[in-house]
Amino acid sequence: MSDLKRSLSEVAAAAFQAAGLSPDFGRVTASDRPDLADFQCNGALAAAKSAKRNPREIAEQVVEVLKTDPRLASAEIAGAGFINMRVSDEALSVRAREIAADPRAGAEPLPAPRRVLVDYAGPNVAKPMHVGHLRASIIGESIKRLYRFRGDQVLGDAHFGDWGFQMGLLIVSVGDERGLFDGWISEATGQFVGDEASAQVHLQLLDLGLEDLDRAYPLAAAQAKTDDAFRDRARRATALLQGGADAYRAIWTRFVEVSRVALEREFHALGVDFDLWKGESDANDLIPGMIAELEAKGLLVDDQGARIVRVARPGETKKKKLPDGSVVEVESPDPLLVVSSEGSAMYGTTDLATILDRRQSFDPHLVLYCVDQRQADHFEQVFRAAYLAGYAEPGGLEHIGFGTMNGADGKPFKTRAGGVLKLHDLIEMAREKARERLREAGLGADLTPEVFEDIAHKVGIAALKFADLQNFRGTSYVFDLDRFTSFEGKTGPYLLYQSVRIKSILRKATEQKVVSGPIVVGEPAERDLTLLLDAFEGALSEAYDKKAPNFIAEHAYKLAQTFSKFYAACPILSADEPSVRASRLALAQTTLKQLELALDLLGIEAPERM
């Protein structure tokens, strides 16, 4: 079962090939002038230029073939050689019935599924998520759902930030505050002192919460900048932790547990879930062997006391301006720093080891990193190093970059006080605005407080997610909660309202004992709706190939709009003929099925009523 655009493209391709031309010229697209045609093919013009022939003559040859296709009511030439096609009502009726009977609502599975890992969100130990985590979480979740729906075997990994110097800072800070070094833990070894030490430390940390870590970390980071002794203690603690010291590992484990509970709560509220909660720490034990392997392969190079991997190809350079104003050519991209001059593994080292870990545990064909576009240079270095080391096939690692969510001033969104807004507070802002919008519209007044709150949450999350996902991920956008939460226009709440509206129609149909039947397309609004339903596969294919959920968001919005026009032009339950009522009810059911599938791929859940 193929969508009309693809199947007509195959017919047109065969016609071009029969005319002695490349079948690639047979690409069919939705018509730019839906008042004149359903589909169009512009390949005759490009083919004429390539073959030095008259475009209308080529178009005539192609049209003669197209006219034999029983699905087309007409195939005509316009202008210099544009080919316009109009699908027959009967063919649209058949296609609508196919989509209605398909649990996937017209979406085709992939012919060759792959193993795919999506790395997104990137939460950190000891730090509540803030607004900067929103886009990574929303976009990554949607891409994971899309790839899984298309048929790939997909794992979503939160890639927990749980390692490095910040852990040493927290261990020393919390240890001082709670007296853990007063006879219970040896700072020299990072081990417990005495038989009762482990139990005592556990009790001291039992009431530790994320708010305590959130308060402690910035204070410790600030102290390390001015207090050399404190900084040295934190460095020793980091080294002992990474070396496996029992007491420090126990403290670190508590930090991870506390952070993960809070983070999972926020992610769940956002409709984001992970298959893996692997962190930077999971790659730690692989680093020594990996460094030895890089050295054995001749990839590690000594550089001013540090050890690097040169990832630039021979002769690949960029211009760099020196402090004295002169300009020189330097290697580009920059080398990947693997071991610092102090002997420490670096951020890029951990990322490289993580690629190795994923190869050994899952062996993915593709790893997608949904991370801020500003990290592009870092990933370029890491990916090239991974390819050189043989840890991934070229092209098997891809950075899915995205822009920023900005305030009205065009700069990354901040609170009124100029600070970074916590994600929990942003979600609550969206919920409160959703409550306000529902009350303004007179919606939910007859529902219980619990049901109303559930709907307000879904409306608020839909507002945040759709506002983000309707944009191509590489662009930035301005945060405007008033506009995002409107029930009119291109918004998440509008899509939820249309979904609830169809559900209401279906409930009334059940009450009136109206049942669906074979779809028969005839009216213009029925044709438009069927053509939109048929376009679902094309939207999914574009979103999949470009790793861009905005194509799904656009389809969902157009589908909701087109159904609204259909509902106004074509009465469903009040139609005179029982067969017409049955047909239109089936169209409504099919629209709801496809709309909810699209919303689910965006990570948006629709309520049953408002």
**What digits encode the pLDDT tens for the residues 554-584?**
999 999 999 999 999 999 999 999 999 999 9
pLDDT (0 to 100) of residue 251: 97
CATH topology of domain 280-399: Rossmann fold (3.40.50)
Residue pLDDT, tens place only, 71-85: 999 999 999 999 999
Label residue 418 by pLDDT band (50, 70, 90).
low
CA-based nearest residue to 258, from 199, 218, 212: 212
Ordered by start, the domain boundaries in the chain are: 4-87, 165-269, 280-399
Work out the average pLDDT over 299-306: 94
Amino acid 129: pLDDT = 86
DSSP state of 226: H
pTM of the model: 0.92
**pLDDT value of residue 453:** 96
- Whether the CB-CB separation of 164 and 280 falls below 8 Å is answered with yes
Instruction: Give the amino acid at 582.
Output: A
In this prediction, residue 332 carries a pLDDT of 86
pLDDT digits (tens, 9 = 90+) for 215-230: 999 999 999 999 999 9
> How would residue 131 be classed by pLDDT, with cut points 50, 70 and 90?
confident
Domains 4-87 and 280-399 share a fold: no
Structure tokens that stand for 494 in this block: 């509008």
Q: Indicate the burial class of 576 (C-beta count within 10 angstroms; 0-12, 13-18, 19 or more).
A: exposed
- Give dist(CA 116, CA 398) in Å, integer: 11
Mean pLDDT of 524-545: 98
Give, in degrees to the nearest 5, the angle at Cα 65 between 59 and 68.
Answer: 135
Cα–Cα distance measured from residue 204 to residue 185, given in angstroms and rounded to the nearest whole number:
12
Task: Read off the pLDDT of each residue in 288-294 and give the average, rounded to a whole number.
Answer: 96
Does residue 416 have a pLDDT over 80? no
The percent of residues above 70 in pLDDT, for the chain, comes to: 99
Q: What is the pLDDT of residue 126?
A: 87
Non-local CB neighbours of 211 within 8 Å, separated by 6+ positions: none
Q: What is the pLDDT of residues 327-362, one digit of tens each?
A: 888 888 899 999 988 787 888 999 999 999 999 999
Predicted confidence band of residue 408 (pLDDT cuts 50, 70, 90): confident
511 pLDDT band (50/70/90 cuts)? very high
Q: What is the mean pLDDT of the chain?
A: 94
Residues 503 and 448: beta-carbon distance below 8 Å: no
The CATH class for the domain spanning 4-87 reads alpha beta
Does pLDDT of 414 surpass 80?
no
Interval 8-45: pLDDT, tens: 999 999 999 999 999 999 999 999 999 999 999 999 99
Determine the pLDDT at residue 326.
85
How much of the chain exceeds pLDDT 90, in percent? 85
Is it the case that residue 1 has pLDDT exceeding 70? no
**Distance, CA of 328 to CA of 73 (rounded, Å):** 66
Question: What tens digit of pLDDT does each residue of 182-207 get?
Answer: 999 999 999 999 889 999 999 999 99
pLDDT at 241 exceeding the cut of 90: yes
Average pLDDT of 142-150? 98
Residues whose CB falls within 8 Å of the CB of residue 140, separated by 6 or more in sequence, listed in order: 118, 119, 120, 121, 156, 272, 368, 370, 400
The pLDDT tens digits for 84-102 are 999 999 999 999 999 999 9
| CA nearest to 161, candidates 131, 134, 121 | 121
Total H helices, total E strands in the chain = 21, 17
Q: What is the model's pLDDT at position 417?
A: 66
Instruction: Give the pLDDT confidence of 440-478 residue by residue, as tens digits.
Output: 999 988 999 999 999 999 999 999 999 999 999 999 999
CA–CA gap between residue 140 and residue 149 (Å, rounded):
14
